[in-house]
Amino acid sequence: MGDFTLELNDDQTAVRDWIHGFAADVMRPAAAEWDDREETPWPVIQEAAKIGLYSLDFYAQQYFDPTGLGIPLTMEELFWGDAGIGLSIVGTALAAVGVLANGTEEQIGTWIPQMYGDVNDVKLASFCSSEPDAGSDVSAMRTRAVYDQAKDEWVLNGTKTWATNGGIANVHVVVAVVDPELGARGHASFVIPPNTPGLSQGQKFKKHGIRASHTAEVVLEDVRIPGSCLLGGKEKLDDRLARSRERAKAGRGSVKNAAMATFEASRPAVGAQAVGIARAAYEVALDYAKTRVQFGRPIIDNQGIAFQLADMRTQIDAARLLVWRASWMASAGKPFTSAEGSMSKLYAGETAKKVTAQAMQILGGNGFTREYPVERMHRDSAIYSIFEGTAEIQRLVIARTISGLPIR
């Protein structure tokens, strides 16, 4: 017999239950308040830091779980608690992944600890890729990074948008154009240290959902940073750009850009967030259907309700399995030959939207009110077919991967 198993080990079960307790006892009671306030829930983040949940050590342990399930288990439980607060707690992780995906060991050791701070001085980080005219079309990015060889400094100018923790973060990771002729392949990632002159917060967005998570523009005006803040280093960048130019001359595809390396690594984790939201809404609907009496019996006695719940549970479990598969593949170093990362994010995101809508329908008029959490969950779920690659972009990635053709 082989050793294949979907059973969590004792450590994973303990961590999952520990996070679940924090989500149930700390996040859920605060969720409606911070959704209404549309502000970063600093007290909750600080509580997470006190118990070690918001810390470099914790995320490193989960990131290096040999099964690959540490991060998706964490994400599902936190977002089961609340998506807005959950994103405030894990938003820093996307910037950290940007450094892990593109940085040297020295850069990883230098910058990631500064992204989290410590219990007495909690910090945040922000990953900045999208721009007003460059969302799905990363080749339209305009933020420029120009190398000043005399001073060994990079000078950045441009505007980023949709940045989680943008402008309030201690450390920003910014993707910028270094070679415009190479399009999306001429990008690189940079760390902007704390209190760097020229970086400021632009518009803060008022959003449909995930309102407790701060989302804003980041404006870069003649931002000067040391050459050491180029993730991966100048030598590696020059080599990558040279290879891209050679491949372009030969009419072949080019190497992957910095933003895509970050998004590929994070997509299964984002899928796990969507699974958590869907599961939360399903559980509310299931409990409601078993206790809500109409025509003399609980509404779950009606096939119309029971079958909806059956489909909801099936879709949630299927989404989780896709997330786990992609997470395990990434951890094991197996290539996404069928765009398994995009599959997991696509299906989980669509499932969250569908399941939360069904939960509102099962609760009827109550589901449309703020007395029950499913309307907030439904609002929160909408972003999962938009950010970190829209559903349409995920389908494009999958189609190109399985066909081998440049589908447009």
CATH of the domain at 151: 2.40.110.10
| 101 and 21 both lie in a single domain | yes
76 is catalytic: no
Q: Does residue 328 belong to any structural domain of this protein? A: yes
Range of the domain at 330: 258-403
Cα angle 198, 156, 200; round to 5: 30
Out of 47, 105, 388, 392, the active site residue is 388
Please tell me the predicted confidence (pLDDT) of residue 249. Answer: 76
d(CA 189, CA 258): 6
Residue 1 forms part of a structural domain = no
pLDDT of residue 254: 47
Q: Are residues 371 and 262 in the same domain?
A: yes
Q: Flag whether 300 is in a domain.
A: yes
Boundary of a domain, candidates 97, 120, 143: 120
What is the tally of structural domains in the chain? 3
Looking at residue 183, what is its pLDDT? Answer: 85
Instruction: Report the pLDDT value the prediction gives residue 263, as an integer from 0 to 100.
Output: 61
Same domain, 234 and 268: no
Write out pLDDT tens, residues 98-145. Answer: 999 899 999 999 999 999 999 999 999 999 999 998 777 777 899 999
Whether the pTM exceeds 0.85: the reply is: yes
Query: Closest Cα to residue 175, out of 190, 165, 193?
Result: 190
Same domain, 379 and 327: yes
Task: Name every residue whose Cβ is closer than 8 Å to that of residue 229 and which is 6 or more positions away in sequence.
Answer: 154, 190, 191, 192, 193
Cα atoms in the 13 Å half-sphere on the side-chain side of 317: 7
> Is residue 81 domain-resident?
yes
- Examine the domain organization and report whether 270 and 399 are in the same domain: yes
Together in a domain, 266 and 378: yes
Instruction: For residue 69, tell me if it sits in a domain.
Output: yes
Residue given tokens 């997991």 in the structure block: 344
pLDDT at residue 298, as a whole number: 98
Q: In which residue are the tokens 């004792």 written? A: 10
Q: Are strands 171-177 and 125-128 parallel, antiparallel or unpaired?
A: parallel
121 φ, ψ to 5°?
Answer: -150, 80
> Are 399 and 265 within one domain?
yes
Domain co-membership, 173 together with 86: no
- In the predicted model, residues of the chain with pLDDT beneath 70 are 1-2, 251-265
Q: What is the CATH number of the domain that holds 107?
A: 1.10.540.10
Question: Does one domain contain both 206 and 295?
Answer: no
